[in-house]
């Protein structure tokens, strides 16, 4: 019995050695690719003429329909920003009831720095008006000054049309979620855009922790 036990142990040990030698090695983790948002000049894909983008926000889903014929330059940029994850985690930092909800400053300061000088030429005026539900880029008031910030109109703000605010799309589902975005901070965060850009979501979480935000954004297929 003692001898049999020793033989069995040796056999088991041999099997273990063989198994260890022949077991496949685990695959090495795939290295993360470069963050394309850090090179705005590389994001030049032409958008479809008509497409939808779904925002999964902290207040629920919002579906936007983008029309390239309304504003081709603005829509192309929005398409590229969405496809490359720009809006993930982005806060609605300025929510003014009966006016609009503004967003578009990235949570990563390095991304904001990269886009600071990536200004868009203006699209032609007059295709659409800033009525309720329209999605529009913000501007500095100067020509060709659009960047990455946008807003959704809460009401008829058509007086903005002649000031260079060109709608690029509209909310087609989930406007009730947009209506529920937290407005308790008003324009307080708007007045600190420099710090938001320089410090990202770290600053907003410390100072405006209840802001609603976009959890994910995706072009719908």
Q: In the chain, what percentage of residues exceed pLDDT 90?
A: 82
Mean pLDDT over the full length of the chain: 89
What is the per-residue pLDDT for 12?
40
% of the chain at pLDDT higher than 70? 85
Tell me the H-state helices in the chain. 2-22, 72-83, 109-115, 175-179, 193-199, 201-207
- DSSP-derived 3-state class of residue 152: strand
Domain 48-219 classified CATH 2.40.100.10?
yes
Span 35-51, average pLDDT: 97
| pTM for this predicted structure | 0.85
Is the CB of residue 195 less than 8 Å from the CB of residue 203?
yes
Each residue's pLDDT tens digit, 125-161: 989 999 999 999 999 989 999 999 999 999 999 999 9
How far is the C-alpha of 70 from the C-alpha of 190, rounded, in Å?
Answer: 27
Sequence spans of domains, the chain:
48-219
> With b meaning 16 or more CB within 10 Å and e meaning fewer, what string describes 155-193?
eebeebbeebbbbbbbbeebbebbeebbbebeeebeebe
Residue 7 pLDDT > 60, yes or no? no
Are 135 and 62 a contacting pair, CB within 8 Å?
no
Q: What is the pLDDT of residues 77-94, one digit of tens each?
A: 999 999 999 999 999 999
**Long-range contact pairs involving 10-14 (C-beta distance under 8 Å, separation at least 24):** none
Q: Are strands 94-96 and 100-103 parallel, antiparallel or unpaired?
A: antiparallel
The arithmetic mean of pLDDT across residues 47-64, rounded, is 98
Would you say residue 118 has pLDDT above 90?
Answer: yes
- Confidence label for 221 from pLDDT (cuts 50, 70 and 90): confident
Hey, what are 98's tokens? 């009966």
For position 21, what pLDDT does the model report? 42
Tens of pLDDT, residues 178-203? 999 999 999 999 999 999 999 999 99
Tell whether the model's pLDDT for residue 4 goes beyond 80.
Answer: no
- Do residues 180 and 59 touch, judged by C-beta distance below 8 A? yes
């Amino acid at each position: 019995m003692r001898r049999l036990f020793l033989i069995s142990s040796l056999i088991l040990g041999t099997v273990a050695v063989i198994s260890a030698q022949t077991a496949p090695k685990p695959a090495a983790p795939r290295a993360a690719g470069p963050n394309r948002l850090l090179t705005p000049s590389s994001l030049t894909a032409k958008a479809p003429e008509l497409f939808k983008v779904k925002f999964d926000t902290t207040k629920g889903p919002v579906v936007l329909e983008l029309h390239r014929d309304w504003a081709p330059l603005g829509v192309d940029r929005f398409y590229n920003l969405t496809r490359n994850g720009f809006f993930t985690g982005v806060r609605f930092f300025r929510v003014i009831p009966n006016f609009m909800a503004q967003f578009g400053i990235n949570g990563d300061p390095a991304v904001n720095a990269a886009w600071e000088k990536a200004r868009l030429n203006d699209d032609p005026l007059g295709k659409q008006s800033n009525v309720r539900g329209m999605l529009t880029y913000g501007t500095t008031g100067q020509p060709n000054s659009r960047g990455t910030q946008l807003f959704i109109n809460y009401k008829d703000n058509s007086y903005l049309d002649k000031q260079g605010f060109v709608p690029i799309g509209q909310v087609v589902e989930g406007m009730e979620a947009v209506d529920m975005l937290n407005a308790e901070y008003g324009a307080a965060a708007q007045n600190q855009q420099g710090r938001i850009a320089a410090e990202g979501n770290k600053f907003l979480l410390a100072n405006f922790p209840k802001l609603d935000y976009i959890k994910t954004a995706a072009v719908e297929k």
